[in-house]
Amino acid sequence: MNSKSILASMAILALAACGDEPAEEVVAEVPDCPPGIEVDGGWMSMAAVAGDPAAVYFTITNNGEEAKMIAAADVAGAGSAALHEMGTWNLQPSMDEVLQLDVPAGESIAFEPGGLHVMAMQPGEELAVGGETEVTLTFVRGDKCSFPVAIRAPGDTPEAEADAE
């Protein structure tokens, strides 16, 4: 340490000692989602065949005053992830990638079986039934929203669990 560094350190300590009250620790809170965005009810359904993609479901609510556009999704422990939606094409069931998804101000969008979902490709061994993982949504302007999801067996939906009780 050179003499300038030592003097600077001593000056900082002297200034800190001059105060009447002890210095408060400054802790910066990092929100999990941008202001106005809430996510709840998150769960992942593993595939019946090991190695096949898993699907993630949740409800996202935009309580803000402006629309938010989801541009990407990431699932911890998966090789990749993408927004998908079930639909029909030529009178046949179809699953299509959704490149961007608008979440209008004041509205909620449900990601649920048979509709919107996040497809988690190449699920790793750490994604095990009964565990938990984290999903991160990235919005068009770069904001991110991360939230936990419970990992369930194929067919083990929250509704099936509630019916069994």
> What domains, with CATH codes, occur in the chain?
37-155 (2.60.40.1890)
Which residues lie closer than 8 Å to 94 by C-beta, 6 or more apart?
86, 87, 88
Of residues 14 and 35, which shows the higher confidence score? 35
% pLDDT > 90, the chain = 67
Measured from the Cβ of residue 148, the count of other Cβ atoms closer than 10 Å reads: 13
Report how far residue 117's alpha carbon sits from residue 46's, in angstroms, rounded to the nearest whole number.
13
Secondary structure element (H or E) that encloses residue 10, with its range? helix 3-18
Of residues 93 and 105, which shows the higher confidence score? 105
- Residue 122: pLDDT above 50? yes
**3-state secondary structure at position 6:** helix
Measured from the Cβ of residue 160, the count of other Cβ atoms closer than 10 Å reads: 10
**CB-CB contact of 133 with 75 (8 Å):** yes
pTM for this model (two decimals): 0.77
Range scoring the smallest mean pLDDT among 2-11, 74-83, 97-106, 149-158: 2-11
**What integer pLDDT is reported at residue 11 of this predicted model?**
40
Report how far residue 13's alpha carbon sits from residue 158's, in angstroms, rounded to the nearest whole number.
56
Radius of gyration of the chain (CA): 23
For residue range 15-71, what is the model confidence (pLDDT) as tens digits?
Answer: 344 444 444 433 333 458 999 999 999 999 999 998 899 999 999 999 999 999 999
**What integer pLDDT is reported at residue 62 of this predicted model?**
97
